[in-house]
């Protein structure tokens, strides 16, 4: 099944025409409604009239997370607050969140995009879909929820945590599909196996995203749960989950190209690279009202193909993500930057700013340990004092990162340094 | 009386204690008594040594977070109930004892206490005949 055949299966010519028209309109909209963009375009010597179609896209300057930080919280919004019906936020690079806003129409387009991805995963109004993504500022929960309702399915908003309740809902309501991070589904799988619940389940599909995962992990989930597992991609800056998703053939993620224009660039030269070549994914929103972004650098590394898929869709497809072009980590679906840890430690001033982040996956759940060097000045011979310090560091880091780290105190100067540059992150998770 | 204690932060890793003992041996520092409190991630090594200041210097230079602290030392006697009597006397002079251990000496051992204000505690204990 295809949710919106008119859009998802249009010829490449038609799609490019539509994208051209929408790009011209979006650029003009941004220029006239967002002062920051107007100044940026003026600085680059560009007027909306210079952008006549897709061929002029590369004339436009890039947008990065820094632009969102510099205009925190709502400087890139193109509409007055009265037209914003929802806010979401994700982590920024230095502790300040990246805030995004949606108009009523944005929410509807987002729901449409998630609906398309859910339809790719063979879901219909006959399905009962458990949404085990976090509900809140994170886009995962509400994004998937609105998509599920949009296709007329029964949404079960369990959010994250409380495994016992998750499993009870899954069994008792005959849940047929689940949306959550792949690592959380792995975790649930183990619990299901331990309790021998598999025969009671009606689960047949899963839609997993918000963190990188591998083909092997997909196979494992499919075999162990007797389901088909689908990939979903998105980021709050562009919309949230549903920017792209994969169909039953699992040959890349179909981009909802009529709303989000993808480019792949070389992170070094910023030149567009050919289809099939890995580079950084860049998106321009084509229909966004709340916070339209021009050439937003996602920092995600992937490649693209414009060939027609066996499923009949003609939309461009992204290959499996190969990592990031910056140092951002995705831990339990949450974006984490090492610089946030440094900022939080420096702000406290009771330890050195030397730290080591150790990311691991234990029982299929991401864990984050942060080793912090004890500062001789704040060293106490009372364990109680050191434990208080550990707790305080853990608390401050949790406030900054939005996930709970385990804090371990270590001796000064024990944290590794290589080639003069400190090693800040050890990621033991085996991915890609 | 008051004694100087050297305390050292020790990571919970193989060979650490040996390394510290080696540093003290090299510098000819004599260990009078030793106590090791352990948590899941690290240990807190507390010692009374022949020269606490020197021990502090050499351990700090070797990269170990260390600290010299004054402790209250009270001579014990060999009879049943001695510890109770000492604690009872102490309870009027200090609010809280962080930790305690023993310090062997010629004759009966001392009991050493970490208290907030060891000097005042010492004076008060003296009045009570300790």
Asked whether the beta carbons of A28 and A48 are under 8 A apart, the reply is yes
Q: Contact B11/A376, CB-based, under 8 Å?
A: no
Query: How many domains, in total, are found in chain B?
Result: 2
Per-residue pLDDT at A367 exceeds 70: yes
Smallest Cα–Cα separation from A54: which of A27, A23, A82? A23
Task: Output phi, psi for B33, to 5 deg.
Answer: -155, 160
Answer whether A43 touches B (CB < 8 Å): no
pLDDT band at A431 (very low <50, low <70, confident <90, very high): low
Helix A163-172 and helix A182-194, axial crossing angle in degrees, nearest 10: 80
B84 and B61 share one domain: no
Asked whether the beta carbons of A209 and A241 are under 8 A apart, the reply is yes
The residues near B37 (Cβ < 8 Å, ≥ 6 apart) are A383, B43, B44, B46, B99
The least confident of A37-41, A142-146, A217-221, A229-233 is A217-221
B6 and B18 share one domain: yes
Residue A364: count of CB within 10 angstroms of its CB: 17
Per-residue pLDDT at A96 exceeds 80: no
Per-residue pLDDT at A194 exceeds 50: yes
Smallest CA–CA distance from B45 into chain A, residue: A381
Burial of B119: CB neighbours in 10 Å, binned 0-12, 13-18, 19+: exposed
B118 and B75 share one domain: yes
B58 and B82 share one domain: no
B86 and B118 share one domain: yes
- pLDDT tens per residue across span A248-266: 999 999 999 999 999 999 9
Q: Contact B42/A414, CB-based, under 8 Å?
A: no
Write the residue in B37, B41, B114 that is nearest to A409 by C-beta: B41
B100 and B114 share one domain: yes
Domain that holds residue B28: 2-69
Stretch A386-412: mean pLDDT, rounded?
Answer: 90
Residue B96: count of CB within 10 angstroms of its CB: 7
Of B69, B94, B113, the position where a domain reaches its end is B69
Would you state the pLDDT for residue A92?
65
Q: Contact A408/B64, CB-based, under 8 Å?
A: no
- What are the contacts of A53-56 at 24+ separation with CB within 8 A? A53/A20, A53/A23, A53/A24, A54/A16, A54/A19, A54/A20, A54/A23, A54/A261
Smallest Cα–Cα separation from A148: which of A256, A289, A251, A3? A3
A381 neighbourhood in chain B, CB within 8 Å: 5, 7, 44, 46, 67, 69, 114
pTM of the predicted model over 0.80: no
**Parallel/antiparallel/unpaired status of strands A240-246 and A228-235:** antiparallel
CATH code assigned at B20: 3.30.2130.10
A410 neighbourhood in chain B, CB within 8 Å: 11, 42
Domains of chain A and any CATH numbers? 5-326 (3.40.50.12780), 331-427 (3.30.300.30)
B81 and B52 share one domain: no
Percent of chain B with pLDDT over 90: 72
Per-residue pLDDT at A419 exceeds 50: no
User: Could you give the CA distance from residue B86 to residue A237 in angstroms, rounded to a whole number?
Assistant: 67
CATH code assigned at B106: 3.30.70
Percent of chain A with pLDDT over 90: 71
User: Could you give the CA distance from residue A144 to residue A137 in angstroms, rounded to a whole number?
Assistant: 13
| Inter-chain Cβ pairs, chain A and chain B, closer than 8 A | 45
Chain B residue set in contact with A, beta carbons under 8 Å: 5, 7, 9, 11, 37, 39, 41-42, 44, 46, 60, 63-67, 69, 98-99, 114
Write the residue in B5, B65, B114 that is nearest to A412 by C-beta: B65
Distance set, CA A187 to CA A164, A183, A272 (Å)? 12, 6, 39
User: Could you give the CA distance from residue A357 to residue A371 in angstroms, rounded to a whole number?
Assistant: 6
- pLDDT tens per residue across span A202-251: 999 999 998 778 788 898 899 999 999 999 999 999 999 999 999 999 99
Of B69, B88, B107, the position where a domain reaches its end is B69
- What are the contacts of B120-124 at 24+ separation with CB within 8 A? B120/B93, B121/B72, B121/B90, B121/B93, B121/B94, B122/B1, B122/B2, B122/B72, B124/B92, B124/B93
B9 and B51 share one domain: yes
B115 and B56 share one domain: no
Smallest CA–CA distance from A408 into chain B, residue: B41
B81 and B51 share one domain: no
- Distance between A327 CA and the closest CA of chain B, angstroms: 28
pLDDT band at A363 (very low <50, low <70, confident <90, very high): confident
- SS3 of A366, please? strand
- Distance between A381 CA and the closest CA of chain B, angstroms: 6
B80 and B65 share one domain: no
- pLDDT tens per residue across span A315-353: 999 998 887 888 888 888 888 888 788 888 888 878 777
Q: Contact A382/B114, CB-based, under 8 Å?
A: yes
Burial of A331: CB neighbours in 10 Å, binned 0-12, 13-18, 19+: buried
Per-residue pLDDT at A45 exceeds 80: yes
A352 neighbourhood in chain B, CB within 8 Å: none
The alpha carbon of residue B10 and the mean position of all alpha carbons in its chain are separated, in whole angstroms, by 16
B49 and B105 share one domain: no
Write the residue in A375, A383, A413 that is nearest to B44 by C-beta: A383
């Amino acid at each position: 099944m295809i949710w919106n055949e008119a859009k998802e299966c249009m010829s490449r010519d038609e799609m490019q025409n539509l994208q051209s028209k929408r790009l011209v309109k979006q650029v003009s909209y941004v220029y006239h409604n967002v002062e920051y963009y107007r100044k940026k375009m003026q600085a680059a010597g560009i007027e909306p009239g210079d952008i006549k179609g897709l061929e002029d896209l590369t004339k436009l300057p890039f947008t990065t997370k820094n632009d969102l930080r510099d205009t925190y919280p709502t400087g890139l919004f193109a509409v007055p607050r009265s037209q914003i019906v929802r806010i979401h936020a994700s982590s920024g690079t230095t502790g300040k969140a990246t805030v995004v806003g949606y108009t009523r129409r944005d929410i509807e387009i987002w729901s449409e995009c998630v609906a398309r991805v859910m339809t790719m995963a063979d879901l219909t109004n006959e399905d009962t879909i458990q949404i085990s993504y976090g509900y809140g500022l994170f886009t995962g929960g509400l994004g998937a929820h609105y998509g599920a309702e949009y296709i007329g399915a029964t949404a079960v908003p369990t959010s994250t945590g409380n495994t016992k309740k998750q499993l009870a809902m899954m069994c008792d309501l005959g849940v047929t599909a689940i949306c959550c991070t792949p690592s959380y589904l792995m975790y649930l799988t183990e619990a299901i196996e331990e309790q021998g619940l598999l025969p009671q389940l009606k689960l047949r599909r899963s839609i997993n995203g918000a963190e990188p995962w591998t083909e092997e992990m997909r196979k494992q989930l499919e075999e162990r749960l007797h389901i088909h597992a689908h990939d979903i991609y998105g980021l709050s800056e562009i919309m949230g989950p549903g920017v792209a998703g994969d169909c039953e053939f699992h040959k890349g993620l179909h981009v909802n190209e009529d709303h989000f224009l993808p480019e792949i660039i070389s992170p070094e030269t910023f030149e567009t690279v050919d289809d099939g070549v890995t580079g950084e994914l860049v998106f321009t929103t084509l229909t966004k009202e709340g916070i339209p972004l021009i050439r937003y650098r996602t920092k995600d590394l992937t490649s693209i193909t414009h060939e027609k898929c066996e499923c009949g869709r003609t939309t461009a497809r992204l290959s499996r993500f190969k990592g990031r072009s910056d140092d951002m980590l995705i831990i339990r679906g949450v974006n984490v930057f090492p610089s946030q840890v440094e900022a939080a430690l420096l702000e406290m001033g009771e330890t050195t700013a030397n730290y080591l982040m150790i990311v691991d996956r234990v029982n299929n759940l991401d864990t984050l340990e942060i080793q912090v060097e004890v500062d001789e000045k704040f060293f106490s011979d009372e364990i109680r004092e050191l434990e208080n310090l550990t707790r305080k560091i853990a608390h401050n880091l949790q406030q900054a990162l939005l996930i709970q780290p385990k804090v371990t105190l270590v001796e000064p100067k024990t944290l590794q340094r290589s080639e003069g540059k400190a090693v800040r992150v050890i990621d033991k998770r085996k991915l890609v | 009386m008051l004694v100087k204690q050297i305390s050292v932060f020790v990571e919970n890793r193989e060979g650490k204690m040996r390394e510290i003992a080696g540093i003290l041996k090299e510098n000819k520092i004599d260990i009078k008594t030793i106590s090791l409190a352990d948590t899941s991630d690290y240990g807190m090594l507390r010692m009374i040594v022949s020269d606490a200041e020197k021990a502090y210097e050499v351990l700090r230079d070797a990269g170990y977070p260390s600290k010299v602290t004054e402790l209250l030392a009270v001579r014990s006697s060999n009879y049943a109930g001695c510890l109770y009597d000492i604690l009872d006397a102490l309870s009027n002079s200090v609010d809280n004892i962080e930790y305690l251990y023993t310090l062997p000496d010629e004759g009966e051992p001392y009991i050493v206490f970490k208290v907030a204000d060891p000097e005042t505690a010492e004076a008060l204990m003296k009045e009570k005949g300790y």
